[in-house]
Amino acid sequence: MGPPSPRWSSCLRHGSVLLLPLLLTALSSSWRAAAQAQAPPPPPSQTDPTEAAAVNAILGKLGLSAPASWNISGNPCSGAATDDTPLDDNPNFNPAIKCDCTDQNGTLCHVTRLKINSLDAAGPIPEELRNLTHLIKLDFRKNSLTGPLPAFIGELTALKYITVGTNALSGPVPKELWNLTDLVSVALGSNHFNGSLPDELGKLTKLQQLYIDSNDFTGPLPEALSQLTNLSTLWASDNSFTGQIPDFLGSLTNMTQLRLQGNSFQGPIPRSLSNLIKLTSLRIGDIVNGSSSMEFVGNMTSLGELVLRNSKISDTLASVDFSKFVNLTLLDLSFNNITGQMPRSIFDLPMLSYLFLGNNSLSGSLPATKSPLLANLDFSYNHLSGSFPSWVTQKNLQLNLVANDFVIDSSNNSVLPFGLNCLQRNTPCSLGSPHSSSLAVDCGGSRTISGSDNAMYQADNANLGAASYYVGGAPIWGVSSSGRFMDPPNGSYIIYSSRQFQNTLDSGLFQTARMSPSSLRYYGIGLENGNYTVTLQFAEFDSPDPQAWKSRARRVFDIYLQGERREKNFDIRKAAGGKSFVVVKKQYVVPVVKNFLEIHLFWAGKGTCCIPTQGYYGPAISALSATPNFIPTVHYSVDNKSSSKTGVIVGVVIGVAVCLLAALAGVFVWRQKRKKILLELESCTL
């Protein structure tokens, strides 16, 4: 073979140049893989020892143990504490932590989340919490924690979310909390915190959510709130705040939820609130004095629910163009002084389902048409009149027209449920013609029960809802309910229990209770005039354990008899010594002057809203009775369901006749027997 040609030599030379880098790259990868195979694995991430000890101590002091999903005795930041397992609404991971293991090249872990939720953890917040200095989110909701919120909370400078709602914490909120300027959400609701809100609150310029409802806070809302320009949610109901609702709230233009019920705010409601055009939920109520118009809501067209109940509103509905509120599902303007007629625009709103206009001074008639979704309408205690439109017979409609000026006769009596004529103003079906002198109702009960007081407690299991009434007997009694439980999907208006109740001989009367989120009225119809002893009986149902978080519920309402307030902020559990399933009996002397008795249980915004479940609030009653403090001349028989003075007279006449006949028969028998004896004696003599 001869030498290669010059062309072939050139190809070899260029090919070597191209292949050499590829060969070197392959060799380098092979050497690197071999080196990695021989290198030891990186050390596992370890929890900061101080934080591991703190987690152990916190759980131990609160009487808790960690679930098997993370190794509390060794390395807490392992397993579910570092993977993608969700914490929120996950009952299988509670108590729980989450960790960040990026420190020191992935070898050191810090606890960033701590969750102890709904476990009835009792006692003060453990001191060791201060050692979790990397904590971002703290969730201590629904427990039985006591004592103050400790000042060392201000040392947790990474904290963004703190939730200690539904506990028994008390005292002023430490000023150190307001130094945590990265806070985004603060939830302190349903505790016993007191004092006024400090100006330091204004430092939390990143704050978006502030829940301080159902506490004992006092004083005015501080002007420092105006600096919280990112605030979207403020719940401040059920406190003792005073003064006026401040103008500066109108500068918080990112607000979407605002709740200011159940305080002692004075009117008028500031017009500056009209700037809050992003609001989807507004609840203002229980203003103590002053007078307000509704013009400030005119621009809040994003609202889904608008509640201005019991807010000293003096206005007409025409002052607001409701046709723009196309997202509105609930409108509650009850217990105000709204006059004039009801505009057609409200009844045409496409999304409106609940309309509460009761206890105002509205006049005029019902509109001829309404939107299909509008199925819950309360117009009770107004001055409406006129004829009934065809929609009042709509299936599943709830319509409360009690205490208006409708004329109900044979032409329209069958249109609405029985007895509405007896519950119009001046009670025309019974005025001046009493047919009863007593009343007893087993509220929510399904059968008549004989009580230890010899009263026959009548069943009261009518399916009442957001706007409804029922009349029972001949009629001798009635009930009216209004209001919607705001937060649960299916709020119940009757609650049940099979437990035995203490402090009563009639435990069976307390297996049920009728409940209402706003206003519950019972009526005695056709009672004989005079003074009566009215007995109201109550019991709480929720939790037998006074240490359980569920026992933190406070059901608070006012009691009115014949329009006169007899109890303000009546708390069933407090009256029962802090216990559930213990009967509380309240008795009052009440005059009946127009053959009509009204018992009104009214929610004035006080008490917790969401313990043990959402929507568990408002008045509740298990049994009621009224007995005369005089010798009655009329009686009512539960069995016969017909009675009157005539019935009493007939009964007396029949009784007297029977007695006379018995006496005559006795005389006749005696005379016959005497005659026989005399004849026998005469024969003996002969």
Higher pLDDT, 680 or 470: 470
Is residue 24 in some structural domain? Answer: no
Shared domain check, 409 and 451? no
The pLDDT of residue 37 is above 80: no
Residue 583 is part of which domain span?
439-628
> Per-residue pLDDT averaged across 467-486, rounded?
92
Shared domain check, 541 and 448? yes
Domain boundary, last residue among 582, 606, 628: 628
Is residue 409 in some structural domain? Answer: yes
Distances (CA, A) of 125 to 144, 280, 686: 10, 36, 113
Q: Give the 3-state secondary structure percentages of the chain, helix then strand then coil, rounded to 5.
A: 25, 25, 50
Is residue 484 in some structural domain? Answer: yes
Confidence of residue 165 (pLDDT cuts 50, 70, 90): very high
Residue 520 CA to residue 358 CA, distance in Å, equals 12
pLDDT digit string, tens, across residues 610-621: 888 877 889 999
Shared domain check, 509 and 400? no
The CB density around residue 568, as the number of other CB atoms within 10 Å, is 12
- What's the pLDDT score for residue 640? 38
Question: Beta strands 192-195 and 168-172: pairing type?
Answer: parallel
Shared domain check, 538 and 406? no
Higher pLDDT, 492 or 497: 497
- What's the pLDDT score for residue 614? 79
- What's the pLDDT score for residue 682? 39
Question: Residue 227 — φ and ψ, nearest 5°?
Answer: -85, -10
Percent of the chain at pLDDT above 70?
84
- What's the pLDDT score for residue 669? 45
The CB density around residue 378, as the number of other CB atoms within 10 Å, is 30
Shared domain check, 535 and 614? yes
- What's the pLDDT score for residue 581? 94
Domain boundary, last residue among 628, 647, 664: 628
Shared domain check, 450 and 543? yes
pLDDT digit string, tens, across residues 642-659: 333 333 333 333 443 444
Is residue 166 in some structural domain? Answer: no
Contact 231, 211 (CB under 8 A): no
List the 467-472 sheet strands across, edge first: 467-472, 477-482, 519-525, 596-602, 556-561, 564-571
Confidence of residue 491 (pLDDT cuts 50, 70, 90): low
Is residue 479 in some structural domain? Answer: yes
Higher pLDDT, 498 or 522: 522
- What's the pLDDT score for residue 305? 98
Q: Is the peptide bond before 612 cis (omega within 30 degrees of 0)?
A: yes
Residue 399 CA to residue 201 CA, distance in Å, equals 46
Any idea which of 43-57, 176-190, 309-323, 667-681 has the lowest mean pLDDT?
A: 667-681
Q: What is the tally of structural domains in the chain?
A: 2
CATH (domain of 362):
3.80.10.10
Shared domain check, 323 and 371? yes
The pLDDT of residue 427 is above 90: no
- What's the pLDDT score for residue 189? 98
Tell me the pTM. 0.86
- What's the pLDDT score for residue 637? 55
| 264-303 exposure pattern, b = at least 16 Cβ within 10 A, e = fewer | ebebbbbeebebbeebbbbbbbbbeeeebebebbeebbbb
- How far out from the chain centre does Cα 576 lie? 20
Is residue 97 in some structural domain? Answer: no
**332 Rama class: left (phi>0) / alpha (psi -120 to 50) / beta:** beta
List the 623-628 sheet strands across, edge first: 449-450, 456-460, 439-443, 623-628, 530-538, 584-592
Angle at alpha carbon of residue 679, lines to 678 and 682, rounded to 5°:
85
Confidence of residue 411 (pLDDT cuts 50, 70, 90): confident
Shared domain check, 381 and 491? no
Contact 323, 346 (CB under 8 A): no
> Per-residue pLDDT averaged across 38-64, rounded?
85
Confidence of residue 60 (pLDDT cuts 50, 70, 90): very high
Any idea which of 474-478, 547-551, 618-622 has the lowest mean pLDDT?
A: 547-551
Is residue 60 in some structural domain? Answer: no
Question: Residue 27 — φ and ψ, nearest 5°?
Answer: -65, -40
3-state secondary structure of 61: helix
The pLDDT of residue 624 is above 70: yes
Name residue 233's beta-bridge partners.
Answer: 209, 257
Confidence of residue 24 (pLDDT cuts 50, 70, 90): very low
Shared domain check, 467 and 556? yes
Question: Beta strands 337-340 and 361-364: pairing type?
Answer: parallel
The pLDDT of residue 90 is above 90: no
Quick one: tokens of 294? 């509704």
Shared domain check, 519 and 464? yes
CATH (domain of 613):
2.60.120.430
Shared domain check, 488 and 587? yes
Higher pLDDT, 152 or 428: 152
Name residue 441's beta-bridge partners.
Answer: 458, 624
Percent of the chain at pLDDT above 90?
72
Question: Beta strands 477-482 and 519-525: pairing type?
Answer: antiparallel
The CB density around residue 71, as the number of other CB atoms within 10 Å, is 14
Is residue 492 in some structural domain? Answer: yes
Domain boundary, last residue among 416, 447, 464: 416
The pLDDT of residue 3 is above 80: no
The pLDDT of residue 550 is above 90: no
The pLDDT of residue 18 is above 50: no
**Mean pLDDT for all residues in the chain:** 87
- How far out from the chain centre does Cα 555 lie? 9
Contact 214, 188 (CB under 8 A): no
Shared domain check, 492 and 411? no
